[in-house]
A and B are shown apart, each in its own frame.
Chain A
């Protein structure tokens, strides 16, 4: 079956703009997690959605938000972009059970100029 799909693959924005990233999980998976990956901080957990509800949240400012649709597809939004938001944003899906491996997409590389 198809893997996790993230769009777009690359994105260039300027400071102050906002951006929306999209993630389609593996068919049948109801949990979608978002991570930010940077060379300095590694993989940092943003939030997790399960059945259209945010179930877990990491330590990111309110400028970072997300949502999940009834078909389990998820979007994350970053408003008022800052230079430090430049990163690879990874989406991962799972069935949502505890202690379960995540399946990652290839990510969206966001550059903020």
Chain B
């Protein structure tokens, strides 16, 4: 079954607020995690990644947090904008994994005006 999943299928956030999208994984051997954003009619677009030797990584307006103790990953988007409306996927992999990167089912982020 899926080794990566998300806590909520849909998240609604007021424009300008911060968004937090959560993800749980079950494989303790996973050592590489990625967040993707998929807009309607497009393929997934890379947002940010993190390796297991880190617990936090920041990008432009985005931060990924990794808690290996509870096997939890989160994506924080600061000052959410209408253009952030999309489905967000977490994905995980570990070296030598036969079936490459595995994706969770996704969380749809709605931005409220």
Contacts across chains A and B counted by CB atoms under 8 Å = 54
| Closest chain A CB from B64 CB (angstroms) | 13
B side interface size, CB within 8 A: 27
Q: Which of A48, A59, A103, A104 contacts B100 (CB 8 A)?
A: A48
Binding site for B on A (CB under 8 A): 4, 33, 35, 42-43, 45, 48, 56-59, 90, 92, 98-99, 101-107
| Closest chain A CB from B99 CB (angstroms) | 5
- Asked if B46 and A101 sit within 8 Å, CB to CB, the answer is yes
For the complex, give the distance between the alpha carbons of A48 and B102 in Å: 13
For the complex, give the distance between the alpha carbons of A59 and B95 in Å: 19
Interface of A, helix, strand, loop or mixed by DSSP: strand
- Asked if A56 and B96 sit within 8 Å, CB to CB, the answer is no
For the complex, give the distance between the alpha carbons of A43 and B105 in Å: 7
Which residue of B is nearest A35, CB measured? Answer: B103
- Asked if B42 and A42 sit within 8 Å, CB to CB, the answer is no
With A56-B100, A57-B99 as contacts: A106 and B46 at CB distance below 8 Å: no
